[in-house]
Structure 1
């Protein structure tokens, strides 16, 4: 997943501003926080630990359920914000809000069970209890491509646990982040428990170094992850990194080819191809390769590209003109590496980029090792299950993976061999609030969603005390 800003200090002042990638229309500029404003914001987050912690778990759960309701009630207007900020096709923006509703509702209805005390059988004849307790203020650094969903999956479990949130949004997403803060406040979250941090990336080190900030979560590029991970280690802060991916989509056998094509199509073009866990490398067994390639390329070629507000548009603009130009350069390098351009001309049109297919990508080349963040598909022909596994793993990333097979034993065998955080068998776009999300290798570490997300920023406090029978009788 791509970061929204470089981690090199800018020569020109940074502003937070909505720039509609489909039209070029610009919103009002919002300057970053001053040093005094930043200090006050961190101080409020630290003070809010007590007020948030004073609420019962039932009360925090109720706030999350109300947050889900408010997102549902404002679904249309929130989707409009997504379209303006990132150019996402409107029907997908509505789907993002629907998923956000599910996330807040899941933690509001089911999350409390993951914060219960655990009683351990102490071998010393005493009572041993592990009590999950919040760490305090957390810094979240979020990207642009899912401006409501990314924040929900970080904020919901941590607010339920009693941690307060300092949220640095992408510079092109001030409107969505302001809407989220307003909704949480209306839902009853205490003042200071969730605050937006409009800040340049070059000043992030000071926030991470602050002793009142107790943990960091980043969703962004591999480069951003290395920078934040280094800083977190330097200042001894727990960190969750959800980074890039070039997920393999392996087809070894199919019952219905059209099911595999549909899953591949939906995964590759989700968010106009700008999703970290979208399938990007299509690894197809030799006997199915031609049929799969022909059908999939045909589907890609027919995918409507255009105004994200128009019904039926499948591919909207890239997030910016710069993003489209970067993808153009990547495709040019792929051709220079020896790849065959089967679909598309590899040329950006402003912020728009037509669906593209690459074949005969040399294994081990820079192209085969790179994440293409846009509507570009790479095709690879393999002769065996073992070759498919080897090719799938031969990449720095290890986020998700997809496998189509009619053999259940093969599904387990391949899933065990894939060096990824997630394996989806005979499906795609199957994310759900209760399922853990995260990767391995250069795709980062730590988990979001499910019960695992709550435990990332908790102190598992041991309380070891005499058993009930050993307490003196009160007089």
Structure 2
């Protein structure tokens, strides 16, 4: 089998990649198992040196690596470079904090006995990663995972195999031992066999609910740890006392960056009735400033969607929502291949595709709420629970309402985002487990109790 990387803006082929054979997969797993013994045996301080080197390399080469992201999945050059830079700064963050995060934790027992908790790596971890942030999604697993002493096997999305190969080369260039990080150029079928291999100790997946359900089932049968980040239908709640200009500008940025292809993007704008008209006008103003087009052009602010089938999906959701009673404030859907113009739907209600489903493209949904209690109710009606945003100038109210929102994160008066300093993940159909921060680093370790009598 051969995989082809295609430029989503103009549909020109970029490169072809031959799929790993069964024998090649077996060799890579064997190499990962051997590498784990060597890598986990290094002192943490030695692993930190390697990861600092990776961070420096990413920072130095962010433009060229960002251009690869742009070519393979279509985000603008600025977005591509920023993604790589985020990986670099996260290397520095974890290198600075790994010793504290992984330090033994003493437990007070009594005068005669002592105990402590120690955090030790599990082994090779399979990472099944998506195409929408082809570097960041990988590095936010790999940086803390490798520092903890694990080794990585990456199964990337086939349309960004160029990024998969480049990421492996980054680790090799920075001197990490062979097998510490390897890319598997495979489709879905070999995943079951890989998870059944006793040398592979855990799996992390970012992807669709269907993929997450399948992988969780396979991991459960093999009794292996799994972390799932499965996307969302994130709400951006605008209360009557919000700074409407800032809220509207941030809402459009959140929804339309990366051509709307972000699991944590604000997808449902839930707005109190008394300010909905003014907020809608502000949102339309900011949408009209977006320049969709060639992602290599510096004037472009939104590139194409990553694949034609993804554009097909957002078109289906648009048509279904309009047929169900939603009103498009931006006219008919304007699309040329993967190039989709921004869409704003009004009169969206529960039961419509734009409310119930994850819309992974440049389409925002306006939903009217009677009051703040109704806004929270509408937010929590979703089957997803990844992130959310709450806009109000009453911070005491924000504290109270944030605790009522069913989501893995709530951002008050700001942009929803992932950050190495805080945990990232969801509840309900958005998955389980956490990435990033100290908590994410400890997802793939053996939390071992050591008790010493006398």
* 2:36 is aligned with 1:49: yes
- Indicate conservation of the 8 Å contact 1:63/1:108, yes or no: no
- Give runs of aligned pairs for residues 63-462 of structure 1, distance below 5 A: 63-123=50-110, 125-254=112-241, 256-462=243-449
SS of the equivalent of 1:357 reads strand
1:36 matched residue in structure 2: 23
Partner Cα distance (1:420, 1:429) in 2? 12
2:7 matched residue in structure 1: 20
- Indicate conservation of the 8 Å contact 2:303/2:339, yes or no: yes
- Indicate conservation of the 8 Å contact 2:314/2:359, yes or no: yes
Partner Cα distance (2:217, 2:68) in 1? 34
- Greater shift, 125-134 or 364-373, is seen at 364-373
Partner Cα distance (1:282, 1:379) in 2? 5
- For structure 2, list consecutive stretches of 5 or more residues without a partner in the other structure: none
Partner Cα distance (1:341, 1:194) in 2? 46
**TM norm structure 2:** 0.98
- Indicate conservation of the 8 Å contact 2:247/2:391, yes or no: yes
Partner Cα distance (2:381, 2:120) in 1? 40
- Indicate conservation of the 8 Å contact 1:16/1:32, yes or no: yes
Partner Cα distance (2:109, 2:175) in 1? 40
- Indicate conservation of the 8 Å contact 1:436/1:447, yes or no: yes
Per-residue CA deviation, residues 227-257 of structure 1 (Å, 9 max, x unaligned), is: 1111111111110000111100001144532
Q: How many residues align?
A: 454
SS of the equivalent of 2:18 reads coil
- Indicate conservation of the 8 Å contact 1:269/1:314, yes or no: no
- Indicate conservation of the 8 Å contact 1:337/1:367, yes or no: no
Partner Cα distance (2:331, 2:230) in 1? 28
Alignment RMSD: 1.3
**TM norm structure 1:** 0.93
Per-residue CA deviation, residues 357-411 of structure 1 (Å, 9 max, x unaligned), is: 1111232334320111111010011111110000001011000000000111210
Q: 1:108 Cα deviation (Å)?
A: 1.3
Q: 1:122 Cα deviation (Å)?
A: 2.0
Q: 1:30 Cα deviation (Å)?
A: 1.1
- Indicate conservation of the 8 Å contact 1:219/1:243, yes or no: yes
SS of the equivalent of 2:3 reads coil
Partner Cα distance (2:3, 2:168) in 1? 16
SS of the equivalent of 2:189 reads helix
SS of the equivalent of 2:305 reads coil
- Indicate conservation of the 8 Å contact 1:272/1:314, yes or no: no
- Indicate conservation of the 8 Å contact 2:243/2:393, yes or no: no
- Indicate conservation of the 8 Å contact 2:243/2:391, yes or no: no
- Indicate conservation of the 8 Å contact 2:388/2:416, yes or no: no
Partner Cα distance (2:184, 2:325) in 1? 44
Per-residue CA deviation, residues 205-237 of structure 1 (Å, 9 max, x unaligned), is: 001111100000000011111111111111111
- Indicate conservation of the 8 Å contact 2:103/2:118, yes or no: yes
Partner Cα distance (1:321, 1:199) in 2? 21
Partner Cα distance (1:124, 1:312) in 2? 69
Partner Cα distance (1:198, 1:228) in 2? 18
- Indicate conservation of the 8 Å contact 1:355/1:375, yes or no: yes
